[in-house]
Amino acid sequence: MHVVPFAGVRPVRDKVHLVASRSYVGYSKKQLREKLQGNPYSFLHIIHPDLGSRQLHRITNNIARFRKVREKYHDFIQQGILQRDPQPAFYLYRQTKGNHVFLGVIAAVDLNEYVQGQIKGHEHTLSRRQETFTAYLETTAINAEPVLLFHRHDPALEDIYARYTAGRPEYEFTQTTTVRHELWLIADEQGIGAVSRCFQTLPFLYIADGHHRIASSAQLRERASTHNRTPEMDYCMAMLMSESRIRISAFHRLVSDLNGLTPESFLHTLRRQFEVAVLPESPEETRIDRLLVYLDHSWYSLTPLKPSAHQLAVRCLNEMILAPVLGIHDPRKDQRLTHSEGPLGIDYLKKQVDSKKYAVAFALPAVQADALKQVADAGEFMPPKSTWIEPKLRSGLVIYELS
């Protein structure tokens, strides 16, 4: 794989903990306003230059607004909050969350390899969302949050990373989420060459998170005319990490009603296609190995009567329960369906159903990296909200300029 260093734009060291932010979609409207009002250095000011806007929490295809983003970005540079690196580098990033260490390198990946299928995805992209991101990139000319890619484990890469992480990091800070962030620069010729050669031995990269971002980058490159296409548009900023380092949790489901069925008739309907077994107690999150359902104060496990070797639990749920039984044919849009992030845990599902806010909950096993690779290698796609993948990367930690 062709992976190259780049000269990024970064926060100055004494303000990095104030600049770097979660993705804007990770905040409620109230939280977003509090962040913007309480921290003048937050990268959120660049994403939301219109502090008083009623549409604060929505990114719409608005070129005038994107121009304001571009202006605010240059304001941050002029104020000395952000600075351009003088030479290309790989950015070695480590995030420590509890006992789990995420470690990888932020680099520029070749969009030719994405178009040719060597960088593989497992999710569909929505054309409207892709168009919005493309317009955003074209107008702002910055990429501030890397696509998360994973690859097969490479001991040589890990050895290189260990040499650099033994030294003092360029950045080292912990935010209120208790997650620790560290960043090192691999800017010397020997280190850059060693990292580049390791990636050249890898046949594929796989998209963990950021399908729309990389698709939009490729679309911008394709659309750019000869006079305004820059060399930087041939690449997309990405965080590259070993498959052994990423962590995948499930997205669970909550449904507000049983589509006119009673709990008894709902279970009776499920028994036509599943072996339904009552669980004596609440299952442990780490031991979920099949589709589970919670309703009427009880947990049940569901095993398809006609199992398929390639049938993921999330597909079973969509195709055998949500659509035919509960009448939910479009999981992206149906207001009766809510997706619950895996880290919230299954006790959260139980509380939501017991409170009668929802009628039924479905807990799914986490999809492993090998399963993601099998789907991508086969050219297939997983249903929406199939995986909750970590690490969740910070916006504004390293910025890739397109011009």
Which helix (H) or strand (E) element contains residue 103?
A: strand 100-110
Using an 8 Å Cβ cutoff, are 42 and 36 in contact?
yes
Residue type, 336: R
Q: Which two tokens stand for residue 391?
A: 């690490």
Contacts of 11 (CB under 8 A, 6+ apart): 18, 19, 20, 41, 81, 82, 83, 396, 397
Residue type, 399: I
User: Going from the N-terminus, what domains does the chain have, and what CATH number goes with each?
Assistant: 3-247+389-401 (no CATH), 248-387 (3.30.1760.10)
3-state class of 130 per DSSP? helix
Name the residue among 294, 296, 269, 258 with its Cα closest to residue 279. Answer: 294
Residuewise pLDDT in 10s, the chain (403 residues): 999 999 999 999 999 999 999 887 777 778 888 888 899 999 999 998 876 555 554 555 589 889 999 999 999 999 999 999 999 999 999 999 999 999 999 999 999 999 999 999 998 888 888 999 999 999 999 999 999 999 999 999 999 999 999 999 999 999 888 999 999 999 999 999 999 999 999 999 999 999 999 999 999 999 987 668 899 999 999 999 999 999 998 899 999 999 999 999 999 999 999 999 999 888 887 788 899 999 999 999 999 998 765 578 998 999 999 999 999 999 888 999 999 988 888 999 999 999 999 999 999 999 889 989 999 999 998 888 888 899 999 999 999 999 8
pTM of this structure: 0.90
Q: Which two tokens stand for residue 102?
A: 């995420």
Task: Map 208-249 to HEC letters.
Answer: EECHHHHHHHHHHHHHCCCCCCCHHHHEEEEEEEECCCCEEE
